[in-house]
Amino acid sequence: MNNKLSCKEARILMMGLIDNELSNDNKLVVMEHINSCSACQTQFDSFNKLKEEEIIMNDLPLSEEIFDEYWTHVYNRIERATGWVILSIGTIITLTYAAYMMLKTFFYDESEPMVLKFGVAFLAIGLIIVFVSVLREKLRIRKSDKYRRILR
Q: Which is closer to other proteins, CB of 114 or CB of 142? A: 142
For residue 11, state whether it binds other proteins (rule: CB under 8 A).
yes
Tell me the C-alpha to C-alpha distance, in Å, between residue 5 and each of 1, 11, 37, 121.
Answer: 9, 10, 11, 79
For residue 67, state whether it binds other proteins (rule: CB under 8 A).
yes
| Calpha distance 42→34 (Å, rounded) | 9
Q: Which stretch binds other proteins (CB under 8 A): 63-71, 87-95, 111-119, 132-140?
A: 63-71
Site string for other proteins, 80-119 (x = CB under 8 A): -x--------------------------------------
CA 92 to chain centre: 28
Sequence letter at residue 32: E
| Calpha distance 27→22 (Å, rounded) | 6
CB of 55 within 8 A of CB of 61? no
Which chain residues interact with other proteins by CB under 8 A? 11-16, 19, 21, 43, 46-47, 49-51, 53-54, 56-58, 60-63, 66-67, 70-71, 73-75, 77-79, 81, 149-151
